[in-house]
């Protein structure tokens, strides 16, 4: 109401006759510029080393330039092909021309490698033909077919046609254990090759489990920290933070020493006669190992937000609830617990998101059954079998999953209510 009133009237003027709002904006401009110049270096840094690489990664996961760039004429010629029969002469002619150019520029190998990823063996066919093609003359079709019967393979040409588009979902299909059939339909891969979907689910449920264990361990500790006198609380807090001060590798090797089959715990149990020497527990290089080590590493991320929230809850709330007749448990459940939810939620989302992308610990103590999706992403990024684009697709799915969880969380709890400390 007040707004419409002022709008109806003349704008308020500053002493020199300019509108007051402009004057205010001008007077604050210096302040704004100064504030921006303070954050500018960080902004620049984040842009260069964080935002741009992520965009590049997402782009790379769908970018498919090899055939379009290295076999340009073939790609154009295939656009009119109906895929029903062995392509006509003009397609072979375009292929021959592309091969000649490609051999000169040394790019034909890259195109061949790209096709080889879809049809194993296609690479050698292509390279062999490419070496001879400059001696041939038109018509090319028969010479190609004579040279290698693979050139009559319809699947080869269909894939070539499909992959001549610049943007492809192929890697995402792979990352979710799907693939194109020879007819161009999308179908699940044969079960032997299905690894990613299962691993995504395992990563998710193990992260949930780790988050849950962290809550159970951290809640009482945080409560104790928050209610002790400062001197004792600080000492305990240092103990909680101790894992932060030890190298990740050192901590993990400590767990190996403790948990392995010839390790401290097993020796102790055997020594006490609780288990047989033949029945030594497998606690490492499997899921148990991953869960134990990661819970230990991520615990402080749960304790700190919980502690900082609990510290702000005056003890008089619980006292008030008790004085009003509530049993201590009920007082806790109705009064104390709801007030700790912002810290609890912050701790959960922190631990869960850290856990879902964890790499080093599962790699060291996870064995086969305890590895996470990050470990396969890493596998796809290195070594001779590197598939950087598949790795990019897997990483992008992980990123989207994390963003989705964050969004869901914001819907349910509200990010503005979070207290990280």
Q: How far is the CB of 221 from another protein (least distance, A)?
A: 23
> Which lies closer to another protein via its Cβ, residue 8 or residue 229?
229
Residue among 28 and 312 whose Cβ is closer to another protein: 312
Q: At residue 187, what are phi and psi to the nearest 5 degrees?
A: -145, 155
Smallest gap, in angstroms, from Cβ of residue 288 to another protein?
39
Q: Which is nearer to another protein, 331 or 371 (CB)?
A: 331
For residue 103, the tally of other CB atoms under 10 A from its CB is 16
Segment holding 180, helix H or strand E: strand 178-180
Q: Does an H or E element contain 227, and which? A: helix 196-227
**Residue 253 in tokens:** 């090797």
Q: Least distance in Å: CB of 315 to another protein?
A: 9
Comparison of 26 and 334: residue with beta carbon closer to another protein: 334
Quote the least distance from Cβ 227 to another protein, whole Å.
13
Q: Which one, 224 or 341, has the nearer CB to another protein?
A: 341
Nearer to another protein, 131 or 334 (CB): 334
| Contacting residues toward another protein, per CB under 8 A | 314, 316-317, 319-328, 330-331, 334-335, 338-339
Do the bridges between strand 186-188 and strand 178-180 make them parallel or antiparallel, or are there none, so unpaired? Answer: antiparallel
Of 96, 61, 95, 102, whose CA–CA distance to 76 is shortest? 95
The dihedral sign for the CA sequence 301, 218, 356, 376: positive
Least spacing, CB of residue 342 vs another protein, in Å: 10
- Min separation Cβ 323 and another protein, Å: 4
Identify the bridge partners of residue 19 per DSSP, sorted by sequence position. 13
Which residues are CB-contacts of 320 (< 8 A; sequence separation ≥ 6)? 335
Name which of 274 and 412 has its Cβ closer to another protein. 412
Q: Where are the alpha helices (DSSP H) in 278-385?
A: 287-311, 315-323, 328-331, 337-356, 360-365, 373-379
Omega prior to 139 cis, within 30 of 0: yes
Q: Considering the complex, what minimum distance in angstroms separates the CB of residue 226 from another protein?
A: 17
- DSSP-assigned states of every residue in 50-69: IIHHHHHHHHHHHB--HHHH
- The closest alpha carbon to 253, from 297, 208, 298, belongs to 297
Cβ distance to another protein smaller for residue 32 or 319: 319
Q: How far is the CB of 409 from another protein (least distance, A)?
A: 19
The burial of 175, by beta-carbon neighbours within 10 Å (0-12 exposed, 13-18 middle, 19 or more buried), is given as: buried
């Amino acid at each position: 109401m007040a707004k419409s009133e002022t709008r109806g009237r003349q704008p308020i003027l500053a002493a020199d006759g300019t509108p007051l709002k402009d004057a205010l904006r001008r007077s604050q401009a210096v302040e704004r510029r100064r504030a921006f110049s303070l954050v500018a270096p960080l902004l620049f840094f984040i842009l260069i080393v964080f935002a741009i690489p992520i965009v590049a990664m997402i782009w790379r996961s769908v970018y498919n330039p090899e055939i379009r760039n290295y076999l340009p004429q073939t790609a154009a010629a295939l656009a009119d092909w109906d895929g029903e029969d062995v392509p006509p002469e003009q397609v072979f002619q375009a292929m021959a021309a592309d091969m000649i150019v490609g051999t000169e520029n040394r790019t034909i190998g890259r195109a061949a490698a790209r096709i080889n990823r879809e049809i194993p063996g296609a690479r050698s066919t292509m390279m062999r033909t490419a070496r001879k093609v400059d001696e041939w003359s038109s018509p090319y079709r028969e010479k190609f077919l004579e040279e290698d019967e693979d050139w009559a393979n319809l699947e080869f040409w269909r894939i070539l046609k499909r992959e001549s588009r610049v943007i492809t979902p192929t890697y995402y299909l792979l990352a979710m254990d799907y693939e194109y059939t020879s007819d161009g339909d999308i179908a699940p891969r044969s079960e032997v090759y299905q690894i990613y979907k299962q691993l995504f689910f395992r990563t998710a449920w193990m992260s949930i489990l780790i988050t849950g264990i962290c809550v159970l361990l951290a809640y009482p500790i945080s409560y104790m920290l928050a209610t002790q006198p400062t001197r004792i609380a600080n000492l305990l807090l240092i103990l909680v933070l101790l894992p932060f001060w030890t190298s990740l590798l050192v901590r993990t090797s400590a767990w190996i020493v403790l948990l392995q089959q010839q390790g401290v715990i097993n020796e102790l149990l055997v020594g006490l006669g609780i288990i047989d020497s033949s029945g030594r527990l497998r606690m490492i290089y499997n899921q148990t190992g991953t869960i134990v080590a990661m819970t230990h590493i991520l615990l402080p991320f749960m304790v700190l937000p919980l502690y900082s929230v609990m510290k702000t809850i005056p003890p008089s709330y619980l006292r008030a609830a008790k004085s009003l007749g509530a049993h201590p448990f009920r007082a806790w459940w109705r009064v104390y617990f709801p007030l700790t939810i912002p810290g609890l939620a912050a701790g959960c989302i922190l631990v869960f998101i850290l856990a879902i992308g964890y790499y080093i610990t599962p790699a060291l103590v996870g064995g086969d059954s305890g590895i996470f999706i990050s470990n396969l992403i890493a596998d796809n990024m290195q070594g001779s079998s590197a598939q950087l684009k598949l790795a990019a697709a897997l990483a992008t799915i992980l990123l989207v999953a994390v963003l989705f969880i964050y969004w869901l969380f914001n819907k349910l709890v509200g990010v503005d209510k979070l207290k990280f400390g």
